[in-house]
């Protein structure tokens, strides 16, 4: 089994979800008492979000590059960022780590395209930072061929308030899921045939989300892909 270098702490509930999923997928794949061989460098989310909010993405990117070098020094054979938003720095992280990076948006696009080859319009819920960055458009749009249906400015503020509030604090509840369900309804009304939950915090409330089209949990898709790469010869 290869060793995965995991950059976490953005926020800590995301890392907890990934660690559980990754071990479940490894055990399912290899059986017995196998668990995921990994190294986690956990950042202080307050420092990362402060840099992003202040319009200093280079500072946040530098923190992630440092983490990438740390996981590589610890023997990682591949690297993964345990947050959708953090993939704004994916190229820099891969360069700093010097090992392959498992990209959440690329894996999600490939998964949806394989599962629903006739699907063309894909809704996307994510932080405003992630929606403003180019990687979703590059991987899901240009790469996988989907037309993306995105939240408007007011809806992005609503998403950010939920994600960076109760969800990032590990306090998700059914009331938060109701907010997400309303956003899903709007994307469907605008033509979305499926919706990507493009934030790990959103995956926590997925069981409570009511939606008339398929929901795609990028966190689980990503964790499966990391496990696949760890066990690939």
Inform me whether the pLDDT recorded for 170 exceeds 90.
no
Residue partners of 4: CB distance under 8 A and separation at least 6 = 22, 36, 37, 38, 39, 76, 77, 78, 79, 80, 226, 229, 230
> What is the SS3 assignment for 78?
strand
Measured in residues, the chain has a length of: 233
Kindly report the pTM of this predicted structure: 0.94
- Which candidate, 229, 138, 114, places its Cα nearest to that of 124? 138
Instruction: Report, as an integer, the average pLDDT of 214-223.
Output: 97
- Residue 71, CB-side half-sphere exposure with 13 Å CA sphere: 34
Q: Enter the tokens of residue 215.
A: 């929901």
Q: Hey, what CATH topology would domain 104-219 get?
A: Rossmann fold (3.40.50)
pLDDT tens digits along 104-151 = 999 999 999 999 999 999 999 999 999 999 999 899 988 889 999 999
Confidence of residue 168 (pLDDT cuts 50, 70, 90): confident
Residue 147 has what pLDDT? Answer: 95
Give the H/E segment covering residue 15: helix 12-30
CA distance to 6, 70, 103, per residue, from 223 (Å)? 11, 21, 10
The CATH 3.40.50.1860 portion of the chain extends over 4-103+221-231, 104-219
pLDDT digits (tens, 9 = 90+) for 58-79: 999 999 999 999 999 999 999 9
Determine the pLDDT at residue 4: 98
- CATH 3.40.50.1860 corresponds to the domain 4-103+221-231: yes
């Amino acid at each position: 089994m290869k060793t995965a270098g995991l950059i976490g702490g953005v926020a800590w509930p995301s890392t907890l979800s990934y660690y559980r999923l990754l071990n479940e997928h490894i055990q399912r794949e290899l059986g017995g008492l196998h668990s995921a061989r990994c190294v986690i460098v956990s950042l202080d989310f307050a420092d990362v979000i402060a840099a992003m909010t202040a319009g200093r993405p280079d500072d946040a990117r530098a923190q992630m590059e440092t983490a990438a070098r740390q996981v590589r020094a610890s023997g990682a054979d591949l690297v993964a960022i345990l947050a959708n938003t953090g993939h704004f720095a994916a190229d820099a992280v891969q360069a700093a780590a010097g090992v392959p990076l498992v990209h959440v948006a690329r894996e999600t696009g490939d998964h949806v395209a394989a599962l629903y080859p006739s699907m063309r319009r894909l809704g996307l819920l994510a932080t405003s930072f992630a929606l403003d960055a180019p990687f979703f458009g590059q991987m899901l749009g240009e790469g996988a061929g989907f037309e993306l249906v995105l939240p408007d400015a007011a809806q992005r503020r609503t998403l950010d308030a939920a994600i960076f509030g109760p969800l990032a604090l590990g306090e998700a509840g059914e009331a938060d899921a109701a907010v997400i369900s309303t956003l899903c309804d709007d994307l469907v009304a605008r033509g979305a045939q499926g919706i990507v939950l493009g934030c790990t915090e959103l995956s926590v409330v997925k069981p409570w989300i009511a939606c008339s089209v398929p929901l795609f949990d990028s966190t689980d898709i990503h964790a499966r892909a990391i496990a696949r790469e760890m066990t690939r010869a």
